[in-house]
Structure 1
Amino acid sequence: MSTRTKTPPPLVRLAKNQRQHLVAKLLSQHAVTNQEQLVALLSGEGVGATQATVSRDLDDLGAIKVRAGGGDTVYAIPELPRDQLAPEEHLRRALGEWVVEVSSSANIVVLRTPPGTANVVGSALDRSGLPEVIGTVAGDDTVIIVVAEGLTGAEVAHQLRELAGLT
């Protein structure tokens, strides 16, 4: 009789949105204290991901560290979208990757993106917490930004061009 050990099935790579959905689910079910632990939990679900990928996912999801019982800090995703503030680097990356044109008029800024990507840019702006931005409306390839009172669309457009690397 032979004693064969079962080799585990190969890890699959999920699409970004599928992986991030799983990351959010795992954070709600486990007290995750570090990124390596999250990589291991994903592996346990049959999903392959690197620490760098997990780091970007946590950033994109707006995950924050909160103090849990016993004094440990664990990752959590705020429930209210307004509390899911993303760091400026996330906004810079989204603008740099997807914004191809910035224009303005009065208290409005218009960003042009490739088709199907305006929602990514709009979400990054909404989660950035920029006080200059009252709100956004994203279509397929256009994001309209309403600028806060006391500022002009041209001023905010200039700031966003710089963040996007279009200057």
Structure 2
Amino acid sequence: MGRTQRQHIVTRLLAAHRVTSQEQLVDLLAAEGVSSTQATVSRDLVDLGAIKVRAGDGDSTYAIPEQPHAQKAPDDHLRRIFGDWVVEVNTTDNIVVLRTPPGSAHVVGSALDRADLPEVAGTVAGDDTLFVVVSDPDRPVTGPAAALAERLRDLAGLAHPNPG
């Protein structure tokens, strides 16, 4: 089964069940005859823009917002994605360059796009590299790109480079 078909089933399962964990989603997929891993389900949830919402009883469940403007990723989600996938952050002019393990740049790019950070003009993801274009290129590298790079390093839990 392909990714698109699996994600369609994930969307249907999230609408039909109170899914509180990725492991539960793996089990629900298995009941549908779809073999999957927690890592695959995690990527699917990111790709689908799924978020955790608090149910009436206080439990958190996965949901997919119906309106694209509602798919804004919360800072905690962004921090988790960056902590799990970003291994290096560098800057050049008005571009922040993020490095990830092979095949992971799109996961980080998707989360960053949905974060709706005002200083981000856009992202371009390759296999293991993500370019984040800062919206104000007229400022020097000590301006918005450097500030954004510092924020993204913090989200990823990476050490700050030594100046000079």
Structure 1 gaps, min length 5: 1-13, 66-73
Which one-letter code corresponds to 2:130 in the other structure?
A: V
Cα deviation 1:16-75 (Å, max 9, x = unaligned): 9875442213345x3x45648x758546524589xx99x96896332476xxxxxxxx97
Q: Is the 8 A contact 2:119 2:144 kept in 1?
A: no
Query: Quick one: structure 1 residues 64 and 94, their matched pair in 2 at CA, closer, same or farther if it must change by over 3 Å?
Result: closer
Question: Residues 82, 144 of structure 1: CA spacing in aligned structure 2 closer, same or farther, 3 A cutoff?
Answer: farther
Equivalent-residue separation in structure 2 for 1:58 and 1:140 (angstroms)? 17
Instruction: Quickly say closer, same or farther: Cα 1:157–1:75, change in 2 above 3 A.
Output: closer
The one of 126, 147, 156 equivalent to 2:148 is: 156
Give the paired residue count: 143
The 5-angstrom pairing of residues 1-167 of structure 1 reads 20-27=7-14, 30=16, 32=17, 35=20, 42=29, 44-46=31-33, 60=46, 61-63=49-51, 76-79=63-66, 81-149=68-136, 151-167=143-159
Decide whether aligned partners of structure 1 residues 144 and 81 sit closer, same or farther in structure 2, where only a CA change above 3 A counts: farther
Partners of 1:112 and 1:57 in 2: how far apart? Answer: 17
Instruction: Supply the distance in 2 between the matched residues of 1:93 and 1:156 (Cα, whole angstroms).
Output: 17
Query: Secondary structure in 2 aligned to 1:25?
Result: helix
Q: Secondary structure at the match of 1:85?
A: coil
Q: Are 1:106 and 1:152, in contact at CA under 8 Å, matched by a contact in 2?
A: no
Task: Flag the structure with larger Rg.
Answer: 1
Report the residue type matching 2:157 in the other structure: G
Distance in structure 2 (CA, Å) of the matches to 1:119 and 1:75: 21
TM-score, length-scaled by structure 2: 0.64
Per-residue deviation, 1:124 = 1.2
| TM-aligned CA deviation for residue 162 of structure 1 | 0.6
TM-score (norm 1): 0.63
Once the two structures are TM-superposed, the CA of residue 91 in structure 1 deviates from its matched residue by 1.4
Relative to 1, partners in 2 of residues 1:128 and 1:59: Cα closer, same or farther, differing over 3 Å? farther
Q: Percent identity?
A: 51
Q: Deviations over 1:113-140 (max 9, x none)?
A: 2222111111111112222212101111
